[in-house]
Amino acid sequence: MSATPPAAPASAPVPTVIGVPVPQEDVDAVVAFVAGVQEAQLNADPDAFLAGFREDAIWTTAHGKRLTGLPEISAFTRKVLPPQADSPVIATYTADLILFIRPDIAAVKIRQRPVSRAEGTYLDEIFHGREDPAELMAAHPEAVPGTPTYVLAKDDGVWRIAAAQNTQVLDVETLTAG
């Protein structure tokens, strides 16, 4: 099976960038970091995924599990990520908004969309334009998108996750708007 998400539009979405001024290379590095997370997830590669964390990072999964420190994050990731290699659903990750709190600290809002591995279609589109998607959400939990937030710290020139919260989109207005 291919681990290729749907083809990107001719011009990939550019994130909104706010906060303190930073060089474009830092914006590009943060966008590349998010692309690296997507690649690690698509390939179910724990080592590549874990390389993006600080040793003292905290992580909260989409289902509310709190993980503290790289050893705990690593144990969880090595358990849950490899079985995803054959999952019929993959996800795209796009940096939607980057808030540079300081030149070396960025809060990044991610748009995470579930994709059918076989067809390469966005599964969350079934919710778009629906007035009340509750039944669809219950029937198709794999189609519910995510909205992670990463707090990245730049240490020795390398951006890594210091803290992150991965949240499923359950807000009806957000879910149905697309």
pLDDT of residue 5: 61
CA-to-CA separations, 115 to 17, 42, 87, 99, 126, in angstroms, rounded: 26, 11, 11, 27, 12
Q: Per residue in 48-89, pLDDT tens? A: 999 999 999 999 998 899 999 999 999 999 999 999 899 999
pLDDT of residue 6: 59
The ranges of the chain with pLDDT < 50 are 1-2, 8-10
Could you tell me if 12 and 34 are in contact, meaning their C-beta atoms sit under 8 angstroms apart? no
Q: How far is CA 19 from the centre of its chain?
A: 21
pLDDT of residue 27: 97
Query: Tokens representing 93?
Result: 């990750």
Q: Where are the beta strands (DSSP E) in the chain?
A: 16-19, 53-60, 66-68, 89-102, 105-116, 149-155, 158-165
- The reported pTM is 0.89
Query: Tokens representing 131?
Result: 């007035």
pLDDT of residue 1: 43
Cα distance between residue 167 and residue 47, in whole Å? 23
